[in-house]
Structure 1
Amino acid sequence: MFDVYITKAAKYLPNQPVSNEEMETYLGLINDTASKARRIILRNNKIVSRYYAVDKEGNSTHTNAELTRNAIAQLFDADFSAQELEVLSCGTSSPDVLVPSHAAMVHGLLKNKSVELNSSMGICCSGMNALKYGFLSIKSGNSKNAICTGSEKVSTRLAAQKYNHEIINLKSLEEQPIIAFKKDFLRWMLSDGAGAFLLENQPRGPVSLKIEWMEAFSYAYELEACMYAGGEKLANGDIKPWNDFSPEQWLNESIFSVKQDVKLLDEFILPKGVQSMCEALEKHQITADKIDYFLPHVSSYYFVNGLQKGLQEKGVDIAEEKWFMNLLTVGNIGSASIYIALEELMNSGKLKKGERILLSVPESGRFSFAYAYLTVC
């Protein structure tokens, strides 16, 4: 078995940062009416700026694959070229097309040479799953290097025009033309961007991060879907898939919009997060004093105090000064968030050899959690 190191990290955030007051300029007004939920949601998540791969007219400036390629391109230099790449592993919840895979579309833009591809589909954990594929490939000796990515392009999915048919349908039924909170909620939470790591079997440069271990958990066997798209939740908790709806329903009910069962999120995301993290730390005999930097991906600052309290109650008291987050300034970029947070820390000049970093990524899709423990080399 071989050691695995993150030797370089890069990010790509499209265009200029978008303030809270500018959001509806980019995403548009549903039914020409400002969202009543926007200010409440932003007050809770505390995000003050984010990035969109669209202009103010709603036109795309980048595809997801282009965002990913632009992040990856920054990993290539005189010491490591695109021609040396062996594995490309890409995670996203918002691929540009259903098929071919996201990794294949990114590889098509790189135009380097034949490489092994892996595409991880899911929500926030898809980026960590992509990382684990690269980690295990190098760990086993199957490859000497890998590039792993997390990326999202959700702005076009959140555009007001995507809900026009549903509004028209509601009016024809003489119902209030208001989009359900489960759909409106995520319009003020999610944004675009990409992050990329270069993994190698030897450390390189002034700062490398050795991946000591990675762990993942799923509670789908006992909990129903919480965040979903391309279907509609039924009364019994099952998801009716998009291909069981008529094309008219796809438009009239915004079937492909991203939805969040907020009550389910509030009930389970923290307890299951605390449970899984404690199990991961216990398995590897890691105590809070062996964590110098804690990078939790949180969708909203609303959850930070609850997570801290829940961990403390289980004996995992990570001091507040060890928490490292950049949600406020870059927004919630789903699978890319943990990449972009670690990239900022890795290139900050703060890290010292021997320090240890814990990455924590929850996914509310059907409650999955992923962790990685790193040592600065």
Structure 2
Amino acid sequence: MTKYVKLAAMAGYQPERVVTNDELSQFIDTSDEWIQSHTGIKERHYAIDENTSDLGTQVARKLLAQTGMEATEIDLIIVATISPDALTPATAAIVQGNIGAIKAFAYDISTACSGFVFALSTAEKFLRSGAYQNAIVIAAETMSKTMDFKDRTSAVFFGDGAAGALLTTTDNPAEEIFHGEKLCTQGDKDVIHSGRVQPLSQVTGDNYPVMDAFYQNGRAVFEFATTTVLAHIKEFMQEHNLQADEIDMVVPHQANLRIIEKLSQGLGIPLEKFAINVQTAGNTSAAGIPLALNQELAKGKRPQKALLVGFGAGLSYATMLVDLSYFN
């Protein structure tokens, strides 16, 4: 029997600590005026004494509470993150242990700001097989712990947060959420990178692993987003016979407001149709898309044709067409 996949619940979580541009300007060579004019960001949330798994666990518990589902009913947990608690174990495994999902298998996906779309795509394939019924997909980031706060070209952009979805199988085709996707990778290790560990240069007792901070070439990222990603979205729309005026909502990666404005102009889709939270959340990497989408769903919006658009390190980029008109 053909299995359909529906969105059963969606939830988000942001740390309590709010960091304004003025606060950052006390120790970074920048200003509120510069940050807002270049990025549109006014403030962001930082996790204090919380790690990525803590944020993800908060989301998982909210998802279970919304559905009344027991943790033991979950078959799969995927966490999309580039700021994991550790290289191993997977942050998803920590979340699994925290909520007691003893029957679930769990692992992380690392495709940066495209992570939530890649993770949704992966979970959908497992559920579609018929072998699994319930999956939790979370994007969680504590980007603040990866920053070099002397690098204003990166540090002022990023914030922390998590959001996710609980997907279940259904026999009702009217509840199907997924209606198309296009996932891409353009191998480039230098435009955006974080957590690089250098190989040994010699065998000595003084060797100790050291990771580098997050880095991005801002100009190259802007060019990538406004050319390659824009062309990718247009190609996706053409392949699915979608006209700009048919799109009810676009949920883009919350890179910065200026990039989102360029995408709006290039696609001919009004900015009012874009789900945006970057002004108050900052760039939350993989968490940006689900946080923004959850925000719109909480307002009661139920788009029939919504585009989820992720792009980031890899370079990775992805567009997914979803139908949320039947979401309860």
TM category (shorter chain) comes to 0.7 to 0.9
- Sequence identity percentage: 23
1:173-222 residue CA offsets vs partner (Å, 9 max, x unmatched): xxxxxx5xxx4311101111110101012399xx97712222211122xx
Contact 2:4 2:175 in 1 (8 A): no
Partner Cα separation in structure 2 for residue 16 and residue 366 of structure 1: 30
Instruction: Describe the SS at the equivalent of 1:242.
Output: coil
Confirm whether residue 289 of structure 1 aligns to residue 229 of structure 2. Answer: no
Confirm whether residue 215 of structure 1 aligns to residue 215 of structure 2. Answer: no
Partner Cα separation in structure 1 for residue 92 and residue 143 of structure 2: 17
Instruction: Describe the SS at the equivalent of 1:126.
Output: helix
Cα 1:143–1:262 shift into 2, 3 Å: same
Contact 1:90 1:130 in 2 (8 A): yes
Q: Could you tell me how far 1:328 is from its partner in structure 2?
A: 0.9
Instruction: Describe the SS at the equivalent of 1:5.
Output: strand
**Counterpart among 65, 69, 79 of residue 57 in structure 2:** 69
Confirm whether residue 197 of structure 1 aligns to residue 195 of structure 2. Answer: no
**Counterpart among 287, 298, 301 of residue 254 in structure 2:** 298
- Note the 1:78-93 alignment, pairs <5 A: 79-93=68-82
Partner of 1:358: 307
Partner of 2:45: 51
Contact 1:91 1:128 in 2 (8 A): no
Unaligned runs of 5+ in 1: 55-60, 161-178, 232-240, 312-316
Partner of 1:13: 14
1:217-274 residue CA offsets vs partner (Å, 9 max, x unmatched): 1122xx553110234xxxxxxxxx52246879977xxx51111122322332211111
Partner of 2:113: 124
Instruction: Describe the SS at the equivalent of 1:266.
Output: helix
Partner Cα separation in structure 1 for residue 176 and residue 23 of structure 2: 37
Partner of 1:163: none
Partner Cα separation in structure 2 for residue 47 and residue 245 of structure 1: 41
Q: Which runs of 4+ in 1 moved over 6 A?
A: 245-251
Counterpart code for 1:200: T
Instruction: Describe the SS at the equivalent of 2:308.
Output: strand
Partner of 1:227: 192
Contact 1:118 1:130 in 2 (8 A): no
Instruction: Describe the SS at the equivalent of 1:17.
Output: strand
Confirm whether residue 368 of structure 1 aligns to residue 316 of structure 2. Answer: yes
Counterpart code for 1:198: L
Counterpart code for 1:272: T
Tell which deviates more after alignment, 287-296 or 84-93.
Answer: 287-296
Partner Cα separation in structure 1 for residue 223 and residue 273 of structure 2: 26
**Counterpart among 84, 91, 94 of residue 102 in structure 1:** 91
**Counterpart among 216, 234, 237 of residue 260 in structure 1:** 216
Give the TM-score taking structure 2 as reference length: 0.88
Q: Could you tell me how far 1:46 is from its partner in structure 2?
A: 1.2
**Counterpart among 277, 293, 301 of residue 342 in structure 1:** 293
Counterpart code for 2:281: V
Counterpart code for 1:269: A
Q: Could you tell me how far 1:278 is from its partner in structure 2?
A: 1.7
Partner Cα separation in structure 2 for residue 109 and residue 277 of structure 1: 38
Instruction: Describe the SS at the equivalent of 1:4.
Output: strand
Contact 1:89 1:103 in 2 (8 A): yes
Instruction: Describe the SS at the equivalent of 1:219.
Output: strand
Cα 1:257–1:67 shift into 2, 3 Å: same
Partner Cα separation in structure 2 for residue 122 and residue 138 of structure 1: 21
Partner Cα separation in structure 1 for residue 198 and residue 171 of structure 2: 46
Counterpart code for 1:366: G
Counterpart code for 1:228: H
Cα 1:209–1:326 shift into 2, 3 Å: farther
Partner Cα separation in structure 1 for residue 294 and residue 70 of structure 2: 20
Partner of 1:332: 283
Partner of 1:58: none
